[in-house]
Structure 1
Amino acid sequence: MIPVIFKPGEKDFSTNGLGRLVDATRCEITEEANGKYELEMDYPAISRFSDYFENGYQIKAKPNDLEEYHIFEIKQTFKDTFTNSIVIYAQSRTYKLGNRQVRLVTVDNRNGAEAMKLIEQNMDEPCDIKLYSDINTASSTTFEARNVLNCIAGEQGSLLQYWGGEIKREPFKLSLLRRRGRDNVGTVRYGKDLKGLTIKFDWQSIVTKVLPFAELQSGADGTSQRIYGNAVKSEY
C-alpha cells in the first residue's frame, strides 16, 4: 500500500488523512522479535507534505503483504542536501506506552491476560492502546515505578521474562501471545534454492573453565575477604 500521513492525535485511519505519500522513494519497516518496530522513509525535500514531516505526525503503512497496516509516529527527520530529500524516522504508536507509568503492581500467580489487565488498570494516565494476552501460564512478579513497556518487555521481572511469549503490535493494541505468525512448510534445496553456503567457526569467546569464589564479610567494619575454590574445567 502507499503510505498515508495523518495529523498528530488522529485516531481514525480509515481515510486518506492529509494525503498519500506517493512520491516516497524508499519506505522500510523494521520489526525485531520482541523489540523495535520502526519506519524509515525517504521523501523529496520539496513537496506539499514538507510541513507535515514534524514530530507527532503519523504515517500509515504496511510492513509486508501479510500483516495489516500499522501506524508510526514521526520522531526524527534528517535533510540530505546531496539528494535533496528528507529522511523520516518514525516509531510504532504503541511506543507511547513508554510514557505511561505504574507506581506499584503486584502480580501474584496470575495468567498473562490477568497480568496485562493489572498493568492497564494501574497506569498513571489512560491510554487508547489496550493490553492483551492469550498466555495461560500463571506466574508472579512485582513492578514498582516502571513504565508500561518496561513492565511488559523489560529485562528484569517483566512479563516477557516470566510468562514468555511473543509481542504483537497493532495500532490500538499491544499483545503478548503464546506465538505469532503461521507455519509455512517449504523445502530449500542445495543447487536450486540455495546456491552456496559459508560456515564460520569462532572459538575466541568460548569459556571452558570457571574459577569459583565467594566474598565473606569479616566484621562490622565492612571489610571482606575473598576465598577461591578449585577451577572447574569443561570436559568439552
Structure 2
Amino acid sequence: MASKKYAESINQFSQTMKTLIFGENNARLDYLIEQFYRLNHERRSFIIVSSLVLAILSFVGLVCLYFLGLYSLQSKLSSAYTNSNALREIKSAYISVQTKYEEITGNISSANSSLNLVSIVDQKAKDLGIQVSGFPSKPTITKFPNQNPLAENFQKESIDFKLSNISLKKMMEFINGLEQLPNKLKVTKYRLISITDAKLYFEVLLTVEALIPNDKENK
C-alpha cells in the first residue's frame, strides 16, 4: 500500500514538472517546434550543430568527471592498502617487542620474588675477596611514576654500601659481576671517597638497584 502511494506521488510530481516545463498539453513544446521551423535553414543548422556540440561537450565532461572520481577512488584504495600493510608491520613489531618485554619481566619477577639484595651483594664481594661494609638495616623501596610502564608490576629496591681498599680493576670486576646476575641488578651510583698512599687502592661508595615485584613486600 505504501509503495503504491509512493509511486503515485512520483507520477504526480513528474506530471507537474512536465506541465511546468512544456505547458498544458505540451503547448510550450509545440510553440518551440513551430518557431524552430519558422527559422531559415542557416539558423536551424546553427541550432542543431550547437546542440550537438553542447551534448558532446556535456558527455565528455561527464566522462572526465567519472574517470577523475575513479582515479580518486583508486588513490584512496591504494593509500588504504599501504596504511593497512604498514599497520600489520607495526602490529607484528609491537607483538614481538611485547612478547620480549613479558619474557624479561617474567624472568625478573621469578628471580627477584624473594630477593635479598644485601645477601647477594655481600656474597659477590666475598667471592672476589673484596672488603664490603656499611649495609643499611633495610633496603630503600621506591615506586615508579604512574606513567612508567614498569609501575604496574615493579618497584625499585636499592642499597648503599662501601668497598674498602679496592683497585679499579677489582671494582669493575665486582660491578660487572653484579650486573650479569639473573636478578638484573644495576649499579646506579659510585663515588671515590679516599685514596691510599700508594694511589692504587680506593674506598668507594656504591648504590645498587634491583627491580622487585610489587607484592614482594607483602610476602
TM-score by length of 1: 0.18
- Greater C-alpha Rg: 2
Judging by fraction of residues, say which structure has more helix: 2
Structure with the bigger RCO (C-alpha within 8 Å, sep 6+) is: 2
TM-score by length of 2: 0.19
